[in-house]
């Protein structure tokens, strides 16, 4: 199994007066554009994914959707999991991944520094 570990794109700054609560922080325009560039680069290299797992936080889910779109993976198949939230126990995620016997290329979209 190949793992592609992706940190979410650039999100609205916590210090911005318009910043929503952390789970609802979203990608900035720059974050969307840079994420699209990276995703398109991977697509140009022939990278594909057969499983996408993402943190349920908005910025991570947005990032996962951008990658899925570039790699022609159905957005509705993206799975949100609390196992990619900040502070989640990595060993639990690894146990879940071990159950995915058919997955050969998995994208994990989450948060720094945990990733």
DSSP H or E segment with residue 43 = helix 29-44
Domain count of the chain?
1
Residue-wise burial string across 78-91, b where 16 or more C-beta atoms lie within 10 A, e elsewhere: bebbebbbeebeee
Torsion of CA 80, 10, 26, 93, to 10 degrees: 20
Note whether residue 115 is domain-resident: no
pLDDT digits (tens, 9 = 90+) for 30-85: 999 999 999 999 999 999 999 999 999 999 999 999 999 999 999 999 999 999 99
pLDDT digits (tens, 9 = 90+) for 72-92: 999 999 999 999 999 999 999
Note whether residue 81 is domain-resident: yes
Residue 87's CATH number: 3.40.50.1240
Give the domain range for residue 77: 2-110
């Amino acid at each position: 199994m190949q793992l592609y570990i992706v940190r979410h794109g650039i999100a609205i700054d916590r210090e911005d007066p318009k910043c929503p609560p952390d789970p609802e922080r979203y990608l900035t325009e720059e974050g969307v554009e840079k994420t699209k560039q990276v995703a398109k680069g991977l697509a140009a290299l022939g990278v594909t994914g057969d499983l996408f797992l993402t943190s349920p936080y908005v910025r991570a889910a947005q990032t996962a959707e951008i990658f899925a779109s570039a790699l022609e993976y159905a957005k509705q198949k993206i799975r949100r999991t609390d196992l990619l939230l900040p502070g989640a126990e990595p060993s639990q995620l690894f146990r879940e991944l071990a159950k995915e016997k058919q997955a050969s290329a998995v994208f994990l979209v989450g948060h720094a520094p945990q990733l």
